[in-house]
Amino acid sequence: KKVLAYSTISNLGLIVACAGVNTSAAMWSALLLIIFHAVAKSLLFLCVGIIEYKLDSRDIEDMDYLIMRLPRLTAVMMIGMAGMFIAPFGMIISKFVTLKAFIDANPGMAIILAYGSAATAFFWTKWMGKIISIQHGVTEVVEHRVSSWEWITLYILAFATLVVSLAFPMISSGLINPYLLEKFGTLPVADTFNVMIVYVSMLGLLIIFPLCLLYYGFINKNYRRVSAYLGGGLIDNISFEGAMASSQPIQLRNYYMGKYFGENRLFDAGVYIATTLLFVMFGVVVL
């Protein structure tokens, strides 16, 4: 949940930055970011909460092989994660428009956006890879612990994440554009042809991805299966040969480098820098 909380802080920072640029394109992006973030992050917080109570842990390191223990919940969680940064979903469109708005206002701001987006894509991808990892011998499915009311809520939020991504042109024209016309008198200039290309591409990707999963899951089951590759010393699918010919179990772990990038180390510096920037900002406004 701490990862989700920091992700929320980063997205709120991006939304406030768009408001600071204060152009029609930036405000269009900010409003869509609020909508996309609201449904996707609600879904993710609910998923993590259910995992915490069903597996007695909220630690990411305990989410290995989650797809083998909670397969349907993992699929729903993947939708929420994809909604945060993957191209077929609406969040990435908002970030593209944000990038253009930042470049038009101040190219230096685009560097900050690029750095933040790269870090975001990195940790979401790592987390997605962790929950869909598979290991031989992990067979206990515990989805019976999830209540029907929890499933209903999960499915509603997952459906909403898909719908807002597909319906973003209607959301823009029906909800956002009237506000922008009243506030700025103009709308963000966009090439209709390019918008349609993006929209059709999104629809295609959203359809092709589940079709591929269905094809390999139910139609073509004869694809080649190979054992894990550990650079040598593999004993079986769950262990490898370590030092002194010892048998070691296979484990997946991340490097967090808490000594260098831990919260305790960066918190004081972050507070100092943020406070300084706030004083500078208010000083510029007063002067």
Q: What is the mean pLDDT of the chain?
A: 82
Kindly tell me if the per-residue pLDDT of 97 is higher than 90. Answer: no
Kindly tell me if the per-residue pLDDT of 192 is higher than 70. Answer: no
Q: For residue range 107-146, what is the model confidence (pLDDT) as tens digits?
A: 888 888 888 888 888 888 888 888 888 776 666 788 888 8
Q: What is the pTM of this model?
A: 0.82
**What is the spatial distance between Cα 58 and Cα 56, in angstroms, rounded to a whole number?**
7
**What is the spatial distance between Cα 162 and Cα 43, in angstroms, rounded to a whole number?**
12
What backbone torsions phi and psi does residue 241 show, to the nearest 5 degrees? -90, 120
Ramachandran class of 232: left when φ > 0, alpha when ψ lies in -120 to 50, beta otherwise: left
Query: Is 240 in a helix, a strand, or coil?
Result: strand
At 198, list the tokens.
Answer: 């993006």
* 32-53: average pLDDT: 92
Residue with token string 């593209």 = 96
Smallest CA-to-CA distance from 180 within 101, 285, 93, 112 is with: 101
Residue 40: in which H helix or E strand, if any?
Answer: helix 24-55
Kindly tell me if the per-residue pLDDT of 254 is higher than 80. Answer: no
Kindly tell me if the per-residue pLDDT of 36 is higher than 80. Answer: yes
Q: Residue length, the chain?
A: 287
CA geometry: angle 116, 38, 178, nearest 5 deg: 100
The answer to whether the beta carbons of residues 188 and 24 sit under 8 Å apart is yes
Kindly tell me if the per-residue pLDDT of 243 is higher than 80. Answer: no
The answer to whether the beta carbons of residues 143 and 77 sit under 8 Å apart is no
Q: What's residue 160's pLDDT? A: 93
Q: What's residue 263's pLDDT? A: 79
Q: What's residue 139's pLDDT? A: 64
**What is the spatial distance between Cα 263 and Cα 258, in angstroms, rounded to a whole number?**
7
